[in-house]
């Protein structure tokens, strides 16, 4: 079972859909272009791999593409994800991995 974002309720499918929507909203709301960058001024893609660990906290695993400044902002954004109920497998907390593209 996937992690549960704060405020997401309902069936497993509803919680999963809510997680995806909440993650997308979080990224859009909290992204800050680094100094010297403006929306539409670059055509870059940063792909970040992360997990929600067994404590419900984000951990960045890998970052690829883009400039160092854009990579750092993508990391900052992911690390600001709120603590949530961790994923579950067999009744125990389980770390769940994700990969998200940031396209500029």
Q: Which domains, ranges and CATH numbers included, belong to the chain?
A: 12-103 (3.30.2420)
Report pTM. Answer: 0.90
Q: Of the candidates 80, 83, 104, which has an alpha carbon nearest to the alpha carbon of residue 93?
A: 83
Q: CA 84 to CA 58: how far, in whole Å?
A: 9
Q: What is the pLDDT of residues 55-70, one digit of tens each?
A: 999 999 999 999 999 9
Q: What is the pLDDT of residues 68-95, one digit of tens each?
A: 999 999 999 999 999 999 999 999 999 9
Give every CB contact of residue 79 below 8 A, 6+ residues apart in sequence.
Answer: 58, 60
Q: Of the candidates 85, 83, 100, 84, which has an alpha carbon nearest to the alpha carbon of residue 27?
A: 100
């Amino acid at each position: 079972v996937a992690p549960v974002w704060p405020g997401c309720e309902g069936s497993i499918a509803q919680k999963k859909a809510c997680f995806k929507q909440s993650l997308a909203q979080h990224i859009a709301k909290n992204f800050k272009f680094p100094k010297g960058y403006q929306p539409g001024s670059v055509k870059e893609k940063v792909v970040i791999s992360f997990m929600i660990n067994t404590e419900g906290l984000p951990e960045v695993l890998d970052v690829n593409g883009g400039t160092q400044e854009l990579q750092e902002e993508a990391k900052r954004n992911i690390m600001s994800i709120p603590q949530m109920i961790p994923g579950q497998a067999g009744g125990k907390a389980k770390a769940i991995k994700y990969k998200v593209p940031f396209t500029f």
